């Protein structure tokens, strides 16, 4: 990949769509420097992706999360990966979607992605896997959430130093379709020479 240290450098997409087809293929099995958990404010596990990550990582993850004191919506905190193939887990607390305060919810969701990228960069982590934050039980519309995720990713990659591997883990065919449709808006194909 060419250097992405200046905003004028061409951005080459190193994003992979990984779809959960069954319980055997999920974010907890990805070998990555860091995976992101769509976390509850307590950071102590719960349902969905967060619960799966906590179960796969084991009791040590829970114990470390106890020391973090939770996180506010839009924040992210990092722990070790313990029994996961990933070295670390970033726990990002996404917003619960509602028809009120849409701008605030969008800013909070963007902050989840931005803070996750900042933590990864500060710790020199070169591969990061994201679920679609807030689109499950928190009800954020997949199209809106995908625009936010890809916009923040584009801005991060424009200034990232060196290669960064980004994996977006999607759960359904609809989610995969939305990512495939929107990705070219943020990462247009390179012109053929």
Length of the chain counted residue by residue: 193
**Given its phi and psi angles, is residue 58 left (phi above 0), alpha (psi -120 to 50 degrees) or beta?**
left
Question: What is the model's pLDDT at position 1?
Answer: 28
Query: Which structural domains are found in the chain, ordered by start?
Result: 17-186 (3.40.220.10)
Task: Calculate the average pLDDT of the chain.
Answer: 87
Q: With a cut of 70, which residues of the chain have pLDDT below it?
A: 1-25, 193
Report how far apart, in Å, the C-alpha atoms of 98 and of each of 113, 144, 166 are.
Answer: 19, 13, 28
The reported pTM is 0.87
Pairwise CA distance, residues 189 & 191, whole Å: 6
Question: What is the model's pLDDT at position 39?
Answer: 97
């Amino acid at each position: 990949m060419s250097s992405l240290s200046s905003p004028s450098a061409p951005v080459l997409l190193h994003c992979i769509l990984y779809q959960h087809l069954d319980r055997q293929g999920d974010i907890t099995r990805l070998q990555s420097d860091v995976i992101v958990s769509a976390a509850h404010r307590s950071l102590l596990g719960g349902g969905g992706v967060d619960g799966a990550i906590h179960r796969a990582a084991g009791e040590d993850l829970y114990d470390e999360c106890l020391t973090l004191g939770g996180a506010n919506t839009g924040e992210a905190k990092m722990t070790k990966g313990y029994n996961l193939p990933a070295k670390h887990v970033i726990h990002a607390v996404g917003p619960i979607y509602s028809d009120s305060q849409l701008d605030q919810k969008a800013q909070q969701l963007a902050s989840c992605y931005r803070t996750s990228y900042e933590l990864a960069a500060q710790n020199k982590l070169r591969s990061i896997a994201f679920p679609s934050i807030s689109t499950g039980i928190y009800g954020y519309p997949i199209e809106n959430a995908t625009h936010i995720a890809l916009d923040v990713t584009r801005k991060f990659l424009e200034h990232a130093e060196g290669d960064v591997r980004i994996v977006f883990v999607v759960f359904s065919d609809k989610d995969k379709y939305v990512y495939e449709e929107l990705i070219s808006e943020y990462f247009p194909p390179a012109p053929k020479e």
